[in-house]
Structures are given as C-alpha cells and as structure tokens.
Amino acid sequence: MNRSDTHTISFKNLLIESLHIFKRNLYELLSLATIPFMAFSLLYLYIGESTIESLQQVPPGIIIILGILFFITNLFIFPIIVYMVKEDQLGKSITAKMSFTAIKGKFGRLFFGLMAYTGIMIFLGFMSVFIYTITEFPTILVSLMSIFLSIFMLKLLIDLLFYQQAIVLKDQKTIQSFAYSHTTIKKVWWKVFHSYFLLDISLFLALNLIFSFLMPLENHLIISVLQGFAQGVVRVYIQIFVTLMFIKIKIKDES
C-alpha cells in the first residue's frame, strides 16, 4: 500500500498525515528525539533568558557539547527520519537502526551538504548584519541592502529545504541535491513557503502557550527539561512534515 496517494498536497492533510506517521512510529521517533531533546534542554538551561549576558556566561564546554548535539541531529537524526517516512508511506515498518543501515553510504554527501548549507546561511546572515552596522547612521541604501540579503536568505531557505530528502531518497550528489531541491520547489514555491512557515508559526505559538503554563513551577531545571523535550519532539515532527511534503510533490510531478 502506498499511503502517499491517499491525500492531496494541502497544509491540513500534511498536518494530519504527519501526526499519523508520528503515532505509527511513536517509540522509534521518540528515541530519535532524545538527541535534540538533550540539546534544547541544555540550551534552555544555560541560555534561557536569551540575553547577551547569559550568552557570555555559558561555559565553553557547554557550547562545544551543544554544537556536537545539534551537528548529530542534523547529520544523522534528520536523514534517518527522512528514510523512515518514505518507508512508512510504502506501508512498511522500519526501525531507526534499519534506516541508519539503509542510508549509511550517504552520510558523506549529507556531511558536505550540511557544511555547505550552514556555511552559506552563516555567511549571508553575517553579511546582512555587517552591512547594516558598517556606519554609525545607516543610510537608506545600506538598509535596503540588508533587507535584500534577509529576503534572499529566506528564499534560499525554502529553495534548499529538500536537499536532505534529495540525497536520501533520490540519491543525489551534494551540489546536485541543492539544484534538485530548487527544481522540486520551483513550481510550488508559494505552497511550500506557506505550509512550512504556517507550521513553524503554529508550533511556535503552541509551544509558547505550553511554556507559559510551566512558568509557575519556578524550577529552572524542570522547566528547561520540559521545554527541551517539547522542542525535541517538535523538531522531529517538522522533519516528518517536510519529508511528507517532498514525497507528495514528487508523486504529483511524476504522475
């Protein structure tokens, strides 16, 4: 049975089907959420106030651990989820270990893809801030250039949204995966943009509502752990959603 054929590409259907996938693979996906859960828990524990002072007080060792955890999440956890979603849509049951084994030959490409993607985004983000702060009183032209770079970053974020799916599911090379993602999204750019950011905004509001109920606990450690758990689950769910969207777009293109 191919579950991907059962609904059209719409935000509502993607949202519901992603929940069903999460439920069908609950224990495996929760185990995969452990790494981002640990990362976000540490993040909230040490940088909970999100101020310059709190950032400066974070021990270097914690920063290194956070970097490693987020690196593992993006390089290993997310691609494993991508493959699990594909197998789920084919009506197959697969464990995280089986998924890892199936895609282990692609981690080299995923590594270089992650490095290139992260490097591009960091460079553009730095340039956007740098251009805006090079003068004491930014001119209209400088402000426009900074805004343009920010908009370009947003477009690039959507254009490259499926690069991991292209490597894992379509066996693309690193650079080819960027082009493949762009081509896949090109005809449905606004639909992908709408769905992705509507999901992000909805989950952001939901998490903040949940976190507001945690504040009366007045225990920073417990609050940080619960916030980290919620964020870990959300990251896994978003990856399911994005992968399902990719699969449905490709099915529609190939039909």
End-to-end CA distance of the chain: 17
Residue 191 structure tokens: 């639909």
> What was the pLDDT predicted at 146?
76
How far apart, in whole angstroms, are the C-alpha atoms of residue 95 and residue 161?
25
> What was the pLDDT predicted at 115?
96
Q: What is the mean pLDDT of each run of 10 residues along the chain (255 residues)?
A: 61 93 94 89 71 66 86 94 95 92 96 95 82 67 78 93 97 95 94 93 87 75 82 94 95 81
- How many residues does this entry show for the chain? 255
> What was the pLDDT predicted at 2?
60
How far apart, in whole angstroms, are the C-alpha atoms of residue 19 and residue 45?
29
How far apart, in whole angstroms, are the C-alpha atoms of residue 228 and residue 31?
14
How far apart, in whole angstroms, are the C-alpha atoms of residue 195 and residue 210?
22
For the beta carbon of residue 3, count every other beta carbon within 10 angstroms.
Answer: 16
Q: What is the DSSP letter of 196?
A: H
Tell me the CA distances in angstroms from 32 to 12, 99, 110, 128, one per residue in order.
Answer: 25, 12, 18, 34
How far apart, in whole angstroms, are the C-alpha atoms of residue 172 and residue 205?
35
User: For residue 32, which of 72, 86, 3, 62 has the smallest C-alpha distance?
Assistant: 72
The pTM of the full predicted model, rounded to 2 decimals, is: 0.88
> What was the pLDDT predicted at 207?
84
